[in-house]
Structure formats: structure tokens, C-alpha cells
């Protein structure tokens, strides 16, 4: 989890979260499950009230690799005049999770871009 202390009054006008996972070739002949998520939130607890945006990548397979979506991007842009106000001294959180149920290494990547204006 990454915590960012906001030091000015801002309005979040948009955000983009990217979640992806990558497996090596040796995992392709076994059963497996991977789940990766990237979440931008006003609270430091995964999947609770206060979530602004979340991207989730999920793939599972049995014996032969199922080519599910290995990268997922969610983008949110508010119409002009709308947004989420964050006051000076408040925090926003980037919460990343990765669950690997394979017999091999899973590389996870999470990224979040926050678009804001100062008030």
C-alpha cells in the first residue's frame, strides 16, 4: 500500500488504474489461478467504502493455459465541474493485491495515475 498525504486542497477529476500479471512458460502445463488488483481509495482498507477506482485482473486455467485477460485498465474522468474533493491534510491510498496459486513465479504490476486540480 502506498499512502499519499495531500498538502493542498485538491479535486480529483479523474484516475486510471492498471493491473497486470505475467507468468513464465513453466506454469502453462499445470493448474493455476492468479488475481491482481490496483485500487485508489480514500481509506486504507482494501475493497471498503471509499474506493474511488479499482482495476482487477483474473485468470485461471486447468492443464492448458487459458488466455484470459492478463492486463486490465480502468479509467474514470468526471464531467467538467465534478470531482472528488480532498482537503489539505487528508490521505489517499493506492492498494495493490496479488494472489498467485501456481507452482511458479507470478510477476504483478500495478499503476495508478491521478488527475487533479488545486482548489
Domain positions in the chain are 2-118
Q: What is the pLDDT of residues 69-112, one digit of tens each?
A: 578 899 999 999 999 999 999 999 999 998 888 777 778 889 99
DSSP track, 45-106: STTSTTEEEEEEEEEEEBSB------EEEEEEEPPTT--EEE-TT-EEEEEEEEEE-SSS-E
Q: What is the pLDDT of residues 32-44, one digit of tens each?
A: 788 889 999 999 8
Q: What is the pLDDT of residues 13-24, one digit of tens each?
A: 999 999 988 776
Amino acid at each position: 500500500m502506498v499512502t499519499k498525504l495531500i498538502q493542498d486542497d485538491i479535486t480529483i477529476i479523474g484516475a486510471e488504474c492498471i493491473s497486470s500479471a505475467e507468468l513464465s512458460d513453466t506454469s502453462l502445463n499445470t493448474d493455476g489461478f492468479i488475481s491482481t488488483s490496483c485500487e485508489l481509495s480514500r481509506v486504507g482498507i482494501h475493497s471498503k467504502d471509499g474506493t474511488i477506482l479499482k482495476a482487477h485482473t483474473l485468470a485461471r486455467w486447468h492443464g492448458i493455459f487459458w488466455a484470459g485477460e492478463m492486463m486490465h485498465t480502468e479509467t474514470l474522468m468526471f464531467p467538467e465541474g465534478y470531482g472528488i474533493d480532498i482537503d489539505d491534510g487528508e490521505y489517499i491510498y493506492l492498494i495493490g493485491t496479488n494472489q498467485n496459486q501456481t507452482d511458479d513465479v507470478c510477476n504483478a504490476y500495478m499503476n495508478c495515475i491521478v488527475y487533479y486540480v488545486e482548489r
